[in-house]
């Protein structure tokens, strides 16, 4: 009798949600603590840790191509410890918050929520890899959860939008689409809101200030060459680039089958499929004009940005998937309008989509689920970066107290983070931790690295460890170079590490 009663209790919606959240939290915690952080994660932590003043802090961040919010949140946690694991725990809590919000407030069916929970972005990309993207999704889902309350006041939505804009450039574009949707709604239905005029003005000020801060920080300094810097934009028309950019829609939705950018046929084919997918979703949202506007406008923003500036990776154009999720979520709050699509074939298609829309979104959720489980499992079997294993070796062998020269500097940020110390970077000709892509950084050859190593050994009698991210192919007559270890198991191709003990021949 008790077993039957327990099973009945477990079938209750809140019990299932709690169970899924607990499983997700435990698997996520184990996964993120196992994950080997790479430079994009730890470079941020090092800027927070090693910036010398507020002015220097903002100066460094402006070379990163990201707004302030993620850095500010890490600055708070850095008050307690220099151990970057605390960043991972903070990011894990954000990932859990995303799923908690989705289960509590979203209109999706229970099985769809389960698929989403363990899908590629929530279960891997925006959970195990500690970046600012999960924070942007939290803000997006908070906006969706608060959306029904806009009739009373807009300022809670304004705060969510201002914070969202300051997480990353893609979230800024999404936030802009949501702002335009709200403006269109207010203009077209002035009786909707009960908010006082001063509250509406305050909301506009909050959003405007949030957007202004984000744009200021995102605008790189003149000497930045990260992703082409401030001047490198592609406004020349190319069908090849168009289809390549548009194919990101398919890649963001499906994740398990991604066309290669180098293959024109593949990107053209999946670009056309992406166009059909956008049309299909648009027909499904046809009777909900405002969510439809948001979906098309925000998706177009990201495709346009992809075309003119940065093709990106799954973590970047994955925001297209969250635009779809948010559009469906927001459409739940609107009654369908009674209008008919002019073309009869499209009208029939719209009726068919209305009937089977759960199955269509379910198909992509299943693909996302497969991608999430594969990626999560892969992170256990094959390290994302060799940084964690390399740092552990350095500590175990008592080498962390030695003078360490590291190159290429951008690949050494994870070691600096794990070892909680600065390394000598030949690219900067100085001790450093994080990397800024500006005029102070110079690319160096193997010969130049060894020349600098020789100069250091000649002026200071320091026991020196050389760490490279490619095998050393030369050995000058003046140095004795003894290989110590190599760490080549890494998903990131240039975060493999080769360690050498270096001494002057004259010292022997």
Q: In what order do the strands lie in the sheet with 464-468?
A: 430-432, 423-425, 403-407, 464-468, 497-504, 479-487
- CB atoms under 10 Å from CB of 403, counted, come to 17
The answer, yes or no, to whether residue 200 has pLDDT greater than 90, is no
Q: What pLDDT shows up at residue 353?
A: 58
Residue 126 · residue 133 · CB < 8 Å = yes
What are residue 166's DSSP bridge partners? none
List beta partners, residue 482: 501
Q: What is the 3-state secondary structure (H, E, C) of 494-508?
A: CCCEEEEEEEEHHHC
For residue 477, pLDDT beyond 70? yes
Nearest residue to 360 (alpha-carbon basis) of 32, 183, 109, 94: 109
Instruction: Indicate the range of 71-85, 331-345, 471-485 predicted with least confidence.
Output: 331-345
The per-residue pLDDT for 103 is 97
Q: How far apart are CA 192 and CA 202, in angstroms?
A: 18
Chain segment 360-415, per-residue pLDDT in tens: 788 999 999 999 999 999 999 999 999 999 999 999 999 999 999 999 999 999 99
| Distance separating alpha carbons of residues 293 and 184, to the nearest angstrom | 10
Residue 133 CA, chain-centre distance (Å), reads 4
Alpha carbon distances (Å) from 249 to 180, 409, 448: 22, 34, 44
pLDDT number for residue 226: 82
pTM, rounded to two decimals: 0.92
Q: Is 199 exposed, middle or buried (0-12, 13-18, 19+ CB in 10 A)?
A: middle
Contacts of 11 (CB under 8 A, 6+ apart): none
* 182: its two tokens: 């709200």
What pLDDT is attached to residue 198?
76
Helix (H) or strand (E) holding 67: none
Instruction: Tell me the two tokens of residue 425.
Output: 């970077």
Run of H or E including 133 = helix 133-146
Quick one: pLDDT at residue 417?
97
Task: Choose the weakest-confidence range: 86-90, 329-333, 334-338.
Answer: 334-338
- Mean of per-residue pLDDT scores for the chain: 91
Give the single-character DSSP code of 125. Answer: I
pLDDT digits 0-9 by tens, 131-158: 999 999 999 999 999 999 888 889 999 9
Q: What is the largest CA-CA distance in the chain?
A: 89
DSSP state of 337: P
CA distance 74 to 58: 14
């Amino acid at each position: 009798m008790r077993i039957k009663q327990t099973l009945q209790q477990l079938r209750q919606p809140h019990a299932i949600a709690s169970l899924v959240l607990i499983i997700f939290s435990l698997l996520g915690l184990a996964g993120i603590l196992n994950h080997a952080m790479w430079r994009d994660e730890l470079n941020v932590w090092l800027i927070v840790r090693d910036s010398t003043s507020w002015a220097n802090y903002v100066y460094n961040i402006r070379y990163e191509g990201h707004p302030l919010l993620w850095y500010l949140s890490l600055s708070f946690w850095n008050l307690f410890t220099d151990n970057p694991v605390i960043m991972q725990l903070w990011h894990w809590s954000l990932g859990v918050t995303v799923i908690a919000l989705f289960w509590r407030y979203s209109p999706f069916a229970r099985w769809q929520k389960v698929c989403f929970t363990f899908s590629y972005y929530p279960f891997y990309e925006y959970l195990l890899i500690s970046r600012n993207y999960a924070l942007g999704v939290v803000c997006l889902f908070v906006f969706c959860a608060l959306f029904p309350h806009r009739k009373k006041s807009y300022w809670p939505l304004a705060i969510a939008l201002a914070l969202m804009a300051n997480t990353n450039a893609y979230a800024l574009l999404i936030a802009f689409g949501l702002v335009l949707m709200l403006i269109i709604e207010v203009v077209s239905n002035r009786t909707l809101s009960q908010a006082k005029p001063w509250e509406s003005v305050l909301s506009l000020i909050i959003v405007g200030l949030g957007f202004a801060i984000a744009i200021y920080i995102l605008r790189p300094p003149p000497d930045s060459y990260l992703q082409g810097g401030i001047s490198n934009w592609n406004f020349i028309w190319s069908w090849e680039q168009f289809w390549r950019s548009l194919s990101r829609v398919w890649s963001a939705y499906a994740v398990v089958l991604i066309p290669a950018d180098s293959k024109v046929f593949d990107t053209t084919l999946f670009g056309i499929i992406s166009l059909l997918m956008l049309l299909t979703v648009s027909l499904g949202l046809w009777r909900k004009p405002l969510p439809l506007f948001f979906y098309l406008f925000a998706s177009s923003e990201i495709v346009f940005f992809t075309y003119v500036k940065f093709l990106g990776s799954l973590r970047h154009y994955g925001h297209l998937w969250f635009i779809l999720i948010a559009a469906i979520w927001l459409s739940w709050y609107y009654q369908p309008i009674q209008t008919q699509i002019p073309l009869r074939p499209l009208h029939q298609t719209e009726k068919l989509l209305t009937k089977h829309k759960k199955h269509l979104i379910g198909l992509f959720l299943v693909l996302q689920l497969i991608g999430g489980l594969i990626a999560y499992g892969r992170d256990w079997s094959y390290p994302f970066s060799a940084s964690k294993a390399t740092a552990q070796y350095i500590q175990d062998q008592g080498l962390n107290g030695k003078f360490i020269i590291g190159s290429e500097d951008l690949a050494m940020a994870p070691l600096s983070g794990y070892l909680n110390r600065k390394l000598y970077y030949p690219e900067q000709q100085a001790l450093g931790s994080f990397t800024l892509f500006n005029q102070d950084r110079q690319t160096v050859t193997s010969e130049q690295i060894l020349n600098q190593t020789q100069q250091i050994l000649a002026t200071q009698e320091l026991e020196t460890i050389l760490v490279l991210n490619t095998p050393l192919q030369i050995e000058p007559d003046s140095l004795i170079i003894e290989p110590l270890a190599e760490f080549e198991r890494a998903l990131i191709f240039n975060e493999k590490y080769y360690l050498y003990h270096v001494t002057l021949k004259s010292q022997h």
